[in-house]
Structure 1
Amino acid sequence: MRMEWLNRMMDALDLMERHMDRPLPVEEIAKAAYSSPFHFQRMFYMVTGMTVAEYMRKRRLTLAAQELSMSSAKVVDVALKYGYDSPESFAKAFRKLHGVSPSEARDKSVPLKAYPRISFHLSLRGDKEMDYRIVEKEAFRVVGMTVVVETQEGEHNKRIPELWRQCNSDGTSAKLGSLSRDGNVLGICLDMKQDRFTYMIGAEPRPDADAGEFAEREIPAATWAVFTSVGPMPGAIQEVWRRIFQEWFPSTGYEHSGKPDLEVYPEGDVGSDDYRCEVWVPVVKK
């Protein structure tokens, strides 16, 4: 199963490399990996740390810089070739990545950045099992504080901890726990797009709870793969997320369904070695 996954991801990378000079819908890339677009994008990001769009942009600007430094091609032609509508938009993106303008890149003494093609390698890990359970849960209501975060350049890894610190310090987390039907506080990834999503620190409220000050959303009915994290936050749960996408998905007949992800945090010392929480991933059988 893992070798099959590896081959499919390599096929998708081959397709991207062959078509750096034309628009390539993510649906077409995902098809090469025999995957849904949503699942492919989540897998790609969790394995590489970059979105598909971010990887394609960096690769195209790398190839554009090489072309400008090694040929007499016009800047406008190179810009159009690699998907930019105007020389101005191309120059802005080029300078942001390389630190110089496209015309300055013709100077052989000017250093340029290069983002090489990535590759996937199979890592066999048989020393540590991944226990999980499958749970069917009907739709339910959640309330909480939300923030829209970008995934490019890992921006969400800064914004989400900031939201947790704010909610922990101003009493929001404690209030959500008191409203919760089971005492748990939830971390929820909603409205997931290629380069952004909405993150909520929330709770599933009791029917009689007064949650008027919070945003309200409905989590749709889903089949969930549930994993337990043991250890101090955030390192322990981050390791669980890594293993889900790098080990569990490639080894099973499941893929991400595209519905919200949940992190379930019970009361306790989140910094202790024995703190237990859960990751709920919505899944479908391939």
Structure 2
Amino acid sequence: MRENTRIDWHARVEQALARVFASLDEPLAWQTLAGELHASPWHFHRCFRQLTGETVKQCLRRLRLERAAFQAAHGEARITDIALEAGFETLEAFLKAFRRAHGISPGGVRKLGAWAGTIAAPSNLHYAPGEPRKHFFIADKGDAHMDVKITTLSPLKLVCYRNFGEYWNLPGTWQKLFELMASQGVAMPAPTGMTVFHDHFDEVPMPDKRSDAAVYVPQDIELVEGLFRYETPGGLYAVKPHFGSCEEIGTTWDKWREEWLPTSGWQLDKTRPSLEWYQGHFDFAPPELHVTLLCDAVCRA
């Protein structure tokens, strides 16, 4: 696509996205959008997907599921009503789609309360009630161009607090780590923080998975009960930067493991942990600018 044509279509897709955001409560076909933009349906469909990384149908479905998560977390509406509002004919279909998208049930989201509920999207556009719609970022050039680097990481000495089982329990694990570290007089958040996944593999049942909320603390401190020291083994890692909220990380990680890793010439080294390495203090930037390095231990295939 030529640059001037790309800019013209970027403006058209901006209009289409504004219509999509305004149509979460009504049926909307991509053919209708194409007609409103005076474009051929086929050409509109191709350009919308090329620039946003999603089809109109996928975008609508994702935004409705994000809204459903917000309603489950922050409202008192019945889950059945939320399902119908999201465009699902049956509660069973909604629950299945919700869990596939978010990794948790609507009831689980309601118990968590403070939960963003965004789903990873190349455009970085998400359901955000009360906030003006942001301009979208043009999607990257496809999975073959995934920005993955193979690099050697040095060992890091960390102080950790462990979580067993569901990863959705990790926010509480981090909160407990902060409380215990604060009781030791260590200022939080620490400059270097990461989640260490010891069993981030499909063959390990979820109840048996171990994950640690971990921080690098330069000075020696006496550890209270519940905290322990751990040194990452270092070595070769495949590192993928993720831009967006923590809730979107799982989808990004699954995507590049499924689409980049099989053709990369590398394989997972399951003797070493995976790392979710947070860059900077998230409180000082909007979610779309949060940067996390997803690090998988690898060896030659």
- TM-score, normalized by length of structure 2? 0.44
- TM-score, normalized by length of structure 1? 0.46
Larger RCO (CA within 8 A; separation ≥ 6) = 1
